[in-house]
Each structure stands twice: as structure tokens, then as C-alpha cells.
């Protein structure tokens, strides 16, 4: 852990770092590929909407049923004439979902299931959801998502600037598309728990993005007053300085969510845990990725198109072509925390690259000690 903390400190001070901005086209290509796969999966397989959104009935049997999931699914489909989803819960009971049926049909299905499963009809619990209520729930979910995205864009445009708002919006759409696409590919059922998980991971993704943006805003406050570093280089410094923090918070969040998904959903067979944990797991990972590899590089691309940033870049490259930076130091030399008394504006910018502070080993050799003999 001490090594990780030391690495985080060195990243924060710019002593080491990875050039995320330079390789942004690679990250854009990876994101586009993943997004295309998600969209194709969504178009081909579609989302498996739960009965909360399309209406239907849920039958829950008593505990410790001897019938298997495949047998119960066959019984339910024969009794209803519709596709059925059967899950075996941790206590041995069966959860049977059948969409698009009404109350009268539900009673007949319940009677048929009691005979096939050899259990009293009174011991089978039936919950009905009307199609109109399910449609209202779906509309409310879309409205909530739209309002959330609108408020996010407005907030970021006020707190930072419109370019950062656009980049954050693109990152959020990226996370939503990937999460929904994986839901379609895996075939998990979309329930209200899924919507809750989706909104949760959007907030988490935005949190990571705002952390990087805040660092970037602080370090580029007077960027045009210096001639040492371009906007993209300072943006890269902002990513590296918050990298360990982003990785740590993501890993800490993924561990309990992974336990919910693989242990609670996989081992215990809890259906609701599957619904919410998959969206959280995929969304948290996608959100951490987009805040580092998509949002900030996109902001750098948008800012570098400004006339002032293009002019700054020309000045920086021109000085580097002369073999020295604005302070007359050789290229590639980094002076972190340099507070010279001359008050040069060039010292206000963030810096990147390793510091060459090694002194000649031969210094002081052969000198008299100064002691009298």
C-alpha cells in the first residue's frame, strides 16, 4: 500500500504519468467499438422488459419445491400459452413470471400450476400488474432519465463551461448505451431495480468526471499567460493527478457490487439482486473508464480548437523548437512547485515529465576537508 501511495503522490506532482491525451484516438476507437456492439445487441436481441413495465403476473410457490426450473417453465407455458420466466430463489421457492395476462387468466394458470406442481392453490401467491400501470412506470423512468441529463448539462455549463458539459453528456450517453447493450446481450430482465441502478451509476460516473474537471479548471485558470505547456498537456496532468483516486474509489465500489452480482444473484439466486447489481457493476466500470479516457480528452479536443488555445500551442511549440522553455531551461526538464522570485507567469501552469535533479557524483571529490593538520 505504501508503494501505491507513493505512486499516487508522484502522479499528483507530475513526476511520472501516462499520456492519455496523446493516445485519445485509441480510446475513442475502443469506445466506438464497444458502443457499436452494445447497439447491435440491443437491436438484435432487444431488452427483456419485466412485468412491471408491460403488465402480467408473478406466481411464487412455497419453499423447498421439488420441481426443477425447466419443469416449472414448461408447466407455466402450457397453462398460459405465453413465454414464462422461472427463477429458483434461495429458500427453494419458485418465482414464475408470465407477461400480458389478465385477472381471469391468472386464476386459471394458478389452478393449473397447483395441479402440475402438486401444491395447494392457496399456497401459491399471485401478484398482478396491469398493462396501463406498467406503461406509466416506463414513462416515468424515461422522464426521470431525461430530467437528470438535462440538469446535469445545465449544472456543468454553469459550474465549469459548455465544453465540459458537452463532454460529460457524451460520457454519460456512452455509459448508458454500454450498460443497456450488455443487459440486452446477457438477457437479464429490466425491472425498476435496473432503473435505480442505472440512475445510481450515472451519478457515480458524473462524480469521477467532475473531480477531473475541477482539477483541470484550477490548473488552466491563467493558461494563456504562460508559454510552457499546451491545454492538452495540462489536461493530461489533471487526469494523472486524480488517477489513483479514481481507481481506488472504483475498486472499492465494485467489490460489494460484485459480491451482490456473483454471490447474491448467482449463488443465492435472488432475482432482484441480479437486476440492480448488473447495472451497477457494468455502469461503475464504464463510468470510471469514460471519465478518464473519454470526457477529459474530448474537452481537450474542443478547447484546442479555440483561437487562443491554437495561438498558445504555436508559442509553446516555437519555444520548444529553440531547445528551451519559457524560463530558458532545457527541454524536458520539470521543475515542480517552482516559485521563483521573478514572478514569471510561466510558472503558473501544470507540468509534465520527469524531473532531472541528479547532481554530479564527482562533486566535492578531491577537495580538502578544511581541517588543519
Q: Which residues pair with 129 in a beta bridge?
A: 56
Question: Does the pLDDT at position 359 exceed 50?
Answer: no
Q: Quote the CA–CA distance of 53 and 275 in Å, as a whole number.
A: 14
Q: Quote the CA–CA distance of 144 and 138 in Å, as a whole number.
A: 10
Q: Quote the CA–CA distance of 182 and 39 in Å, as a whole number.
A: 9
- The percent of residues above 70 in pLDDT, for the chain, comes to 77
- The percent of residues above 90 in pLDDT, for the chain, comes to 7
Report the mean per-residue pLDDT for the chain: 77
Q: Quote the CA–CA distance of 115 and 16 in Å, as a whole number.
A: 70
- Confidence category of residue 223, pLDDT binned at 50, 70, 90: confident
- Confidence category of residue 220, pLDDT binned at 50, 70, 90: confident
Cell triple for 325: 522553455
How crowded is residue 183: how many other Cβ atoms within 10 Å of its Cβ?
A: 24
Does residue 10 or residue 324 have the better pLDDT? 10
Q: What digits encode the pLDDT tens for the residues 73-116?
A: 888 888 888 888 887 777 778 888 888 777 778 888 888 888 88
Q: What is the pTM of this model?
A: 0.69
Give every CB contact of residue 120 below 8 A, 6+ residues apart in sequence: 114
Closest CA to 315 of 226, 252, 206: 226
Give the CATH H-level superfamily of domain 2-49+133-303: Multidrug efflux transporter AcrB transmembrane domain (1.20.1640.10)
91 close to 63: Cβ distance less than 8 angstroms: yes
Domain 56-129 has CATH 1.10.150.120: no
Question: Does the pLDDT at position 364 exceed 80?
Answer: no
66 DSSP assignment: -
3 state SS of 88: strand
Domain locations in the chain? 2-49+133-303, 56-129
Strands 48-49 and 94-99, bridge-based pairing? unpaired
Does residue 359 or residue 170 have the better pLDDT? 170
- The predicted structure's pLDDT at residue 55: 76
Q: Which of 54-63, 81-90, 163-172 has the lowest mean pLDDT?
A: 81-90
DSSP 255-308: HHHHHIIIIIITTS--HHHHHHHHHHHHHHHHHHHHIIIIIHHHHHHHHTTSHH
28 close to 73: Cβ distance less than 8 angstroms: no
Burial of 318 (0-12, 13-18, 19+ CB in 10 A): exposed
Q: What digits encode the pLDDT tens for the residues 198-213?
A: 888 877 778 888 888 8
DSSP 301-337: HHHTTSHHHHHHHHHHHHHHHTTB-TTSPBTT---TT
Q: What digits encode the pLDDT tens for the residues 254-297?
A: 888 888 777 765 555 555 667 788 888 888 888 888 888 999 99
3 state SS of 115: helix
- The predicted structure's pLDDT at residue 357: 42
Question: Does the pLDDT at position 17 exceed 70?
Answer: no
Q: Which of 6-20, 116-130, 214-228, 350-364 has the lowest mean pLDDT?
A: 350-364
248 close to 234: Cβ distance less than 8 angstroms: no
Strands 125-129 and 56-60, bridge-based pairing? antiparallel
207 close to 283: Cβ distance less than 8 angstroms: no
Burial of 227 (0-12, 13-18, 19+ CB in 10 A): buried
Q: Which of 98-102, 118-122, 357-361 has the lowest mean pLDDT?
A: 357-361
Amino acid at each position: 500500500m505504501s508503494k501505491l501511495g507513493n505512486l499516487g503522490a508522484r502522479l499528483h506532482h507530475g513526476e511520472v504519468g501516462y499520456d492519455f491525451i496523446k493516445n485519445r484516438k485509441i480510446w475513442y476507437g475502443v469506445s466506438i467499438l464497444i458502443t457499436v456492439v452494445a447497439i447491435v445487441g440491443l437491436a438484435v436481441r432487444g431488452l427483456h422488459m419485466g412485468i412491471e413495465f408491460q403488465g402480467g403476473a408473478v406466481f411464487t410457490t412455497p419453499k423447498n419445491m421439488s420441481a426443477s426450473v425447466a419443469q416449472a417453465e414448461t408447466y407455466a407455458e402450457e397453462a398460459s400459452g405465453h413465454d414464462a420466466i422461472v427463477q429458483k430463489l434461495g429458500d427453494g421457492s419458485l418465482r414464475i413470471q408470465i407477461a400480458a395476462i389478465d385477472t381471469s387468466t391468472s386464476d386459471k394458470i394458478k389452478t393449473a400450476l397447483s395441479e402440475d406442481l402438486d401444491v395447494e392453490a392457496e399456497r401459491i401467491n399471485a401478484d398482478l400488474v396491469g398493462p396501463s400501470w406498467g406503461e406509466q412506470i416506463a414513462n416515468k423512468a424515461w422522464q426521470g432519465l431525461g430530467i437528470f441529463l438535462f440538469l446535469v448539462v445545465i449544472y456543468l455549463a454553469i459550474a465549469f463551461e459548455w465544453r465540459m458539459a458537452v463532454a460529460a453528456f457524451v460520457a454519460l450517453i456512452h455509459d448508458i448505451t454500454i450498460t443497456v447493450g450488455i443487459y440486452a446481450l446477457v438477457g437479464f430482465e429490466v425491472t425498476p431495480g435496473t432503473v435505480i441502478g442505472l440512475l445510481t451509476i450515472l451519478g457515480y460516473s458524473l462524480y469521477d468526471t467532475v473531480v477531473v474537471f475541477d482539477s483541470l479548471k484550477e490548473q488552466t485558470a491563467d493558461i494563456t499567460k504562460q508559454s510552457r505547456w499546451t491545454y492538452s498537456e495540462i489536461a493530461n496532468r489533471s487526469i494523472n493527478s486524480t488517477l489513483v483516486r479514481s481507481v481506488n474509489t472504483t475498486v472499492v465500489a465494485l467489490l460489494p457490487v460484485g459480491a451482490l452480482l456473483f454471490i447474491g444473484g448467482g449463488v443465492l439466486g435472488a432475482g432482484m439482486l441480479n437486476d440492480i447489481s448488473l447495472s451497477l457493476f457494468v455502469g461503475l466500470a464504464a463510468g470510471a473508464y469514460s471519465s478518464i479516457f473519454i470526457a477529459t480528452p474530448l474537452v481537450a479536443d474542443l478547447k484546442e480548437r479555440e483561437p487562443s488555445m491554437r495561438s498558445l500551442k504555436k508559442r509553446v511549440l516555437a519555444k520548444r523548437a529553440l531547445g528551451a522553455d519559457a524560463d530558458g531551461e532545457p527541454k524536458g526538464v520539470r521543475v515542480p512547485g517552482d516559485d521563483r522570485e521573478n514572478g514569471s507567469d510561466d510558472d503558473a501552469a501544470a507540468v509534465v515529465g520527469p524531473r532531472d535533479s541528479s547532481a554530479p557524483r564527482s562533486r566535492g571529490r578531491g577537495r580538502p576537508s578544511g581541517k588543519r593538520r
